[in-house]
Structure 1
Amino acid sequence: MDTKKQPLFIAFSSQKGGVGKSTFTALLASILHYRIGYNIAVFDADFPQHSLMKMKTRDLAMVMENQHLKKLAYKQFSTINKKAYPIMQHKAENILEAAHEFSNTSAVPIDVIFFDLPGTVNTPGILKALAGMHHIFTPITADRLVLESTLVFTQLLQDVIMKKGETSLKSIYLFWNQVDGRESTLLYDIYNDLIDQLGLHVMETQIKNSTRFRKEGEENTKSVFRSTLLPADESLLKACRLDLFIIEFLKIIKL
């Protein structure tokens, strides 16, 4: 009998592009792997963008060209005594089987596998892949079209997939991203009431809007935000409340 500990399968998933699912995948994977000490792996199935595969290539070049980041990376990997987490490109239709195979054959026990999945239900195998997750986190913004699309998608997951029982899903959580401090808190209260009436869950922590989510890193920068090789700078995390988000995230997944 196989008694090897099985990893948690987690996806930041959305039917809308540009809301931050690839960014959050990289942010959480890097913090958990490099700073907190868990063993992480990532599967990139977001065809055709494959944002995380491209991010890894960019990050390697950036670290090699920036002397400060090169020293940071050397110190980090010498201290934690483990390699960068793997990012593997794969199609959505048989990604669960690939992830289980990877976990079972890995020399290092994997705690969490993050999945960056396509943003459309028309992708072959996407519903099966989502049903195979343990936890799904979905970023939302205070945009009516984004919100309506996301709520329909999330209700589909909860009412069709979770309630049928043929799933590994333990939780689905929405969370507010790109929150502008100038926007009315009343607006978010109204939206939260609507989400609650639909029987859906929203995280307490709201992520503040920040240009760091869109910056790829300046040539001579001495700090990083989203990177597959280094965890985000702690001061940058606090500035957009991601430090609080990570605490709440870990409580939800019970890692």
Structure 2
Amino acid sequence: MNAKHKTVFVAFSSQKGGVGKSTFTTLVASTMHYRLGYNVAVFDADFPQHSLMKMKDRDLKMVMDNEALKKLAYKQFTTINKKAYSIMQHKADSVLDAAREFINASSVPVDVIFFDLPGTVNTPGILKALAGMHHIFTPITADRVVMESTLVFSQLLQNIIMKQGETSIESINLFWNQVDGRESTPLYNVYDNLIDELGLSLMRSRIKNSTRFRKESEVNSKTIFRSTLIPPDERLMKACQLDLFINEFLKIIKL
């Protein structure tokens, strides 16, 4: 491994469940690894559900059972000439050490490691794991409970962990998810102003609401959105503005 090559540690993290942490980890990791040419890996430390480990098993079975997806996967892997990215299960309290061991043992430079972390700060080792990230991305929705939980969580990271000095965190980035075009724009403006007043960073990209975020590939489907083996279909990405999000994401992490 090239000792000068910096591997970026990224977490989609929130204290509120169901806002899309694991989904965005999968979508961005798959886009970067399979379509954009980066080498990524994922550590699933979200005990006890370990949803990404389970998703990979389901994805593999789905591809093997679906002829269209099997052909798509075969064409993809022969074209990019590399394997699927690794998803490894680990506990939060030692996941940073495990990631560094993985980087040192890797035969190719690893550009980004994504961490799927538990959604509660009471989990042993979670604050240490968060402090070891370079960039944290937190999805938010226009829901009072989600916003209150997220703002408290983000302020904890920014005002306590980052100011203590013993941290790798370079940025904490909130972004709007599940944006419904029918919702009141002034509502978002109020929240935008509140986030700005608290000194938190808000991404310009807004992810439009789509049922695709809650669906995995189906038996007869010919297109992919959320998968650990194949990147999301480009038309589906544009429909929910995920393409714009990933462009901004790459600028933030400087890749």
Normalising by structure 1, what TM-score?
0.98
| Equivalent runs, 1:206-221 vs 2, <5 Å | 206-221=206-221
Q: Aligned residue for 2:117?
A: 117
- Report Cα offsets for 1:40-70 as digits up to 9, x if no partner: 0000001111110011000000000000000
| Equivalent runs, 1:1-255 vs 2, <5 Å | 3-255=3-255
Gaps of 5+ in 2: none
Separation of aligned partners in 1, 2:8 and 2:215? 30
Separation of aligned partners in 2, 1:54 and 1:141? 26
SS for the counterpart of 2:179 is coil
SS for the counterpart of 1:163 is helix
Separation of aligned partners in 2, 1:3 and 1:242? 33
Q: Tell me how far 1:82 sits from its aligned partner.
A: 0.3
AA aligned opposite 1:122: N
SS for the counterpart of 2:41 is strand
Deviates more, 1:210-219 or 1:172-181: 210-219
SS for the counterpart of 1:137 is strand
Separation of aligned partners in 1, 2:234 and 2:217? 16
AA aligned opposite 1:143: D
AA aligned opposite 1:130: L
Asked whether the equivalents of residues 217 and 227 of structure 2 are also in contact (C-alpha less than 8 Å), the reply is no
Normalising by structure 2, what TM-score?
0.98
AA aligned opposite 2:16: K
Aligned length, in residue pairs: 254
Q: Which runs of 4+ in 1 moved over 6 A?
A: none
Alpha-carbon RMSD: 0.8
